[in-house]
Amino acid sequence: MNDTSALAAAQALDWHDVGEPDDFPDGAVWPVIAAGTPIAVFRQGEALHALHDLCTHGNARLSDGYVENGCIECPLHQGLFDICTGETRGGPVTEAVRSFPVQVRAGRVEVGVPAAD
């Protein structure tokens, strides 16, 4: 069982279509909305990742930030978050940003948002 299916098994997820894989340039970040939630989608090679598109330190969109060495740097105070997990990697941020599972099904990229959200 991979991480995505383990998370899906642990909680009921609604999968939201956010585009085609080619809509997400390798090494970049792209903003989408899924279930009314702003989400930053990252592509690193064949891997896709999704984080809440709001810094936990202030009112800044991570999708306006900079991707570097597997992290997204917040554009406001340069806090760092791990793209894969949302964990903090550099101050001033102290709280992880929420991550969401991503899957590609039938050629479409889907982000899993808990059904209760």
Site residues for ligand FES per CB under 6 A:
55, 57-58, 60, 74, 76-77, 79, 92-93
How many whole angstroms separate alpha carbon 102 and alpha carbon 92?
27
Q: Name the residue nearer to ligand FES (CB basis): 15 or 42.
A: 42
- Contact between residue 90 and residue 76 where contact means Cβ atoms under 8 Å apart: no
The two three-digit tokens of residue 13, written as one number: 């997820």
Q: What minimum distance in Å lies between the beta carbon of 42 and ligand FES?
A: 16
CA 35 to the chain's CA centroid: 14
As measured in angstroms, the least distance from the Cβ of 53 to ligand FES is 12
Residues in the chain: 117
Nearer to ligand FES, 79 or 112 (CB): 79
* Residue pair 109/18 in contact by the 8 Å Cβ criterion: yes
Give the nearer residue to ligand FES in terms of CB position, either 17 or 95: 95
Residue 61 CB, nearest distance to ligand FES (Å)?
9
